Amino acid sequence: MAAVPQTLEPVKLGSGYNTPWWASALKWGLIAAALALAAYVVQRLVANGSWLGVVITAFILLCILAVYATRRAIPMKYLLPGLILLVSLQIWPIVYTVATAFTNYGQGHTLSKQEAIDINVANSVKEVEGSERFKLSIAVPEGGDVATADLAFLLTKPDGSTYVGTKKGLEPLPADGVEKTDTGKITKAPGYTILNAREANKRSADLKAFAVPVSDTAGIKSVGISAAFQGAPTLKYDAAADTMTDTSVTPNVVYSPKNAYFTAPDGKTLATGWKENVGTKNFKTLLTNETIRAGFLKIFLWNVAFAAISVLSTFLLGMLLALLFNDPKLKGKGFYRSLLILPYAIPGFVTALVWASMFNQEFGLVNTLTHLNVDWLGNAWAAKAAILITNLWLGFPYMFLVCTGALQSIPSDVKEAAKIDGAGPFRTLRSITMPLLLVAVGPLLIASFAFNFNNFSLIYLLTQGGPFQSGDTSIGSTDLLITYAFRLAFSGASPNIGLASAVCIFIFFIVALMSYSGFRRTAQLEEVN
């Protein structure tokens, strides 16, 4: 089959080769299912107004139809699922992270500028001082459609006098025919249809925009469905000058845009800022900031050491145990092996928390058993040791598993040949077993290195990056770049996700570079064999 040129295949399939009916049925059934699913997804996306999503769904569906409904593109039949996964789970997050790194996205900078302007103005609405509260009934003129007709507020002052407020203004409402509850809320008024709670709620959007004008700036607005207050925004947006003016203080303060906030001349900002592109600012900050630069090298060295020692120690222990339990003379291997897997089976974060409490200087098991008084989590070097010990415990079962598998796949005849040639057990291990083992597990060691390089949860659960030295809580003794980036981004008054994205890009390149050189090495190893 494999030797037949691809172009001939349809002909062959069409003439002499019968596809079983169930395979065809299954194929078309699945295609139909994909279609139905896509239709459903598109419907949801349209409802959400996510047009980009609609386009992407349609594109993926077209790809599926083109690849699976026809007899062309045989290789694509195998590749497409992987490609879709690759793009959606790998490429897309990377693109998104890179895009975010060029923005100021973060707390206080999540909205567009227009949204931020609207929110700032809306949040500045204050009750006019000395004004009275009204009892409110929301109504429309009689005969009008409750869902669309112009709104009218039927208002009762605390003294019992009644008014009607429309977008034109406030007028007295003659008491004739008006019925009120004990609290003063109007339940019936001639000429108006009063909305019930649900009808009023349906008009929330209209109510948000609606105010009965009572002066140049102030208006009567509803609070819920039974009260109204007289309020006015204290901020005013000047579109021409692109400034905000605070009218609640004299002289008025003018806020102009600066660093994606409306900022007063004295540096005070309005609470809500907006998201904008900041170009390479985040990268410049990383490269020029003194504290970041000073801390970076120290953290980087520990980061590399942590990842390297972790991989090495877990691998050595795992391999030694695997060699031991691979001995044909040993009885009850299955039992021992399953015991050794246990640390791997327990969720890592539970283990980390348990170890954290075991390392407690005063109450922890480690010091109690060893009669030491080491401040495991409070001393810079002891904390590093504590982390490496915990990671050894967490990591060796994996290496043990991998090595056991690899050892069992090494043919016994090469070992016998070595024995015949007069090699002792140690020599056999060094010259025969190890190289063959490394070919198998080499790439896994690199993967393990990359994983440990970014082992956020272990550090975070055990030491939070600490202990911290000499009044600087931004750089901890056990910080990895990733925990450092986390703190850098989130310890400020406003978490800055743009900056964190920039750090992640740096980390990505560092790991990529190291992994690349590592894979080059293993490739050489393979050639030797």
Partner 1 sequence: MHKRALGAAALTSAAALVLAGCGSSGSTTSSSASAGNTASASESASASESASASETAAPEEVDAKDPSRADADLVIWADANRAPILTTYAQQFADENGVTVAVQIAAETRKQFGDATKVGKGPDIVVGAHDWLGELVQNGTVAPIQLDDATAAKFAPAAVAASKFDGQNYGVPFSVENIALVRNTDMAPDAPATMDDLLKAAKAAKAKDPKISVLLDQPVGKTGNAYYTYPWLSAFGGGIFALKDNGDYDADKVIVNSPEAIKGAEQLAKMGKDKVLSTNVGDDNSEGIFTGGKAPFFITGPWSIPNIKKAGINYGISPLPSLTGGDAMQPFLGIQLFYVSSKAKNATLAQEFVTNYVPTKEFQLAMFEAGGRPPALTEAYEEVAAADPDVKAWYEAGKDGKPMPNIPAMNSVWGPLGQAAADVIAGKAEPKARFDAAQKEIVANIKKAS
For partner 1, the binding residues in 328-357 under the rule CB under 8 A are 353, 356-357
Q: Contacting partner 1 (CB under 8 A), which of 8, 198, 426, 524? A: 198
Q: Contacting partner 1 (CB under 8 A), which of 12, 70, 88, 330? A: 88
Smallest separation (angstroms) from partner 1 to the CB of 303: 20
Work out the angle at residue 183's Cα, subtended by the Cα atoms of residues 177 and 186, and round it to the nearest 5 degrees.
Answer: 30
Per rule CB under 8 A, count of chain residues that contact partner 1: 106
Smallest separation (angstroms) from partner 1 to the CB of 239: 19
Q: How far apart are CA 167 and CA 153, in angstroms?
A: 9
Q: How far apart are CA 382 and CA 367, in angstroms?
A: 12
Smallest separation (angstroms) from partner 1 to the CB of 390: 15
Q: How far apart are CA 486 and CA 469, in angstroms?
A: 18
The helix-helix angle for 281-288 and 290-325 (nearest 10°) equals 80
Q: Does 501 bind partner 1 (CB under 8 A)?
A: no
Site for partner 1 in 309-328 (CB under 8 A): none
Q: Contacting partner 1 (CB under 8 A), which of 360, 388, 442, 460? A: 360
Q: Does 261 bind partner 1 (CB under 8 A)?
A: yes
* CB of 504 closer than 8 Å to CB of 512: no
In angstroms, how far is CA 526 from the centroid of its own chain? 39
* CB of 526 closer than 8 Å to CB of 439: yes
Q: Contacting partner 1 (CB under 8 A), which of 162, 448, 496, 501? A: 496
In the complex with partner 1, which residue's Cβ is closer, 112 or 409?
112
In the complex with partner 1, which residue's Cβ is closer, 182 or 362?
362
In the complex with partner 1, which residue's Cβ is closer, 274 or 396?
274
Q: Contact letters (x/-) for partner 1, 218-237, by CB under 8 A?
A: ---xxxxxxx-x-x------
Q: Which amino acid is it at 511?
A: V
Q: CB count, 10 Å around CB of 249?
A: 8
Tokens of 316: 């050595």
Q: Does 196 bind partner 1 (CB under 8 A)?
A: yes
Q: What is the 3-state secondary structure (H, E, C) of 202-261?
A: HCHHHHHHCCEECCCCCEEEEECCCEEEEEEECEEEECCCCEEEECCCCCCEEEEEECCE
In the complex with partner 1, which residue's Cβ is closer, 308 or 374?
374
Site for partner 1 in 36-65 (CB under 8 A): 37-38, 40-41, 44-45, 48, 50, 52-53, 56-57, 60-61, 64
In the complex with partner 1, which residue's Cβ is closer, 107 or 431?
107
Q: Contacting partner 1 (CB under 8 A), which of 98, 111, 374, 507? A: 111
Stretch that binds partner 1, among 163-171, 196-204, 323-331, 407-415 (CB under 8 A): 196-204
Q: What is the 3-state secondary structure (H, E, C) of 323-377?
A: HHHCCCCCCCHHHHHHHHHHHHHCCHHHHHHHHHHHCCCCCCHHHHHHCCCCCCC
Smallest separation (angstroms) from partner 1 to the CB of 254: 17
In the complex with partner 1, which residue's Cβ is closer, 353 or 512?
353
Q: Contacting partner 1 (CB under 8 A), which of 98, 113, 123, 308? A: 123
Site for partner 1 in 3-32 (CB under 8 A): 17, 19-20, 23, 26-27, 30-31
Smallest separation (angstroms) from partner 1 to the CB of 468: 5
**Minimal CA–CA distance to 97: which of 482, 454, 497?**
497
Q: Contact letters (x/-) for partner 1, 126-165, by CB under 8 A?
A: xx-----x--------------------------------
Q: CB within 8 A of 107, min separation 6: which ones?
A: 494, 495, 496
- Tell me whether strands 212-213 and 152-156 are parallel, antiparallel or unpaired: unpaired
Site for partner 1 in 455-494 (CB under 8 A): 463-464, 466-468, 470-474, 487, 490-494
Residue 233, beta-bridge partner list = 125
